[in-house]
């Protein structure tokens, strides 16, 4: 059996978001145990020109919304980024998991050649479905999940590769 577009997207997004949620739990517990203001971790960056941790989580979820919707031939959802606490970020991650779970294989499978366009104020990116998933949606998703993880690890949260990969 070949790997379908659904299997290459939705379960991957859900697994990594579930791991990200558990990592956020550990980060919050770390703040409590060490008496650290959670904002210190949520606003931490790996480098001054990079997004802070909270925004990395927000960006990761954005690519799940975009990935699922655009592969299913729907409009790209847009979400503001108001979250500033661990609880708010965890709620965002949970809502994103539920959003992804709402897609069925028949909505996404067969989208390999579907035209996908992402319009930005200054340009439009155009893809076919498979390159969009493999080279844009998943790449961006993993980049932001990894960067959030790295910021928290660099900030002293005791997490490792098993936390990143999750159970299984």
Across 49-77, average pLDDT: 97
Q: Catalogue the long-range contacts made by 68-71 (C-beta closer than 8 Å, 24 or more residues apart).
A: 68/9, 68/10, 68/13, 68/99, 68/100, 68/103, 68/108, 70/116, 70/118, 70/132, 70/137, 71/5, 71/9, 71/107, 71/108, 71/111, 71/114, 71/116, 71/129, 71/132, 71/133, 71/137
pTM of the model: 0.96
Q: Rounded distance, CA 54 to CA 39, Å?
A: 9
Q: Is the pLDDT of residue 23 over 80?
A: yes
User: Domains in the chain and their CATH numbers?
Assistant: 10-165 (1.20.120.450)
pLDDT of residue 40: 98
pLDDT of residue 2: 82
Q: What letters, b where the CB count within 10 A reaches 16 and e where it falls short, cover 137-163?
A: bbebbeebbebbbebbbebebebeeeb
| Average pLDDT value for residue range 89-111 | 98
Confidence of residue 47 (pLDDT cuts 50, 70, 90): very high
pLDDT at 1: 61
Residue 51 binned pLDDT confidence (cut-offs 50, 70, 90): very high
pLDDT of residue 79: 86
Taking only the tens place, the pLDDT of each residue in 72-87 is: 999 988 889 999 999 9
């Amino acid at each position: 059996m070949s790997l379908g577009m659904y299997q290459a997207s939705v379960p991957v997004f859900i697994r990594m978001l579930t791991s990200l949620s558990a990592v956020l739990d550990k980060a919050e517990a770390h703040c409590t145990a060490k008496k650290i203001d959670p904002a210190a971790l949520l606003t931490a960056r790996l480098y001054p020109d990079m997004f802070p941790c909270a925004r990395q989580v927000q960006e990761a979820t954005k690519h799940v919304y975009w990935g699922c919707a655009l592969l299913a031939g729907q409009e790209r959802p847009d979400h503001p980024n108001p979250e500033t606490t661990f609880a708010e970020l965890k709620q965002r991650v949970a809502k994103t998991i539920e959003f992804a779970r709402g897609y069925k294989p028949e909505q996404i499978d067969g989208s390999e050649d579907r035209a996908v366009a992402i319009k930005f104020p200054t340009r439009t990116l155009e893809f076919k479905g498979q390159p969009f998933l493999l080279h844009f949606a998943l790449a961006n998703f993993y980049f932001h999940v990894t960067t959030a993880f790295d910021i928290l690890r660099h900030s002293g949260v005791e997490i490792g590769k098993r936390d990143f990969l999750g159970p299984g």
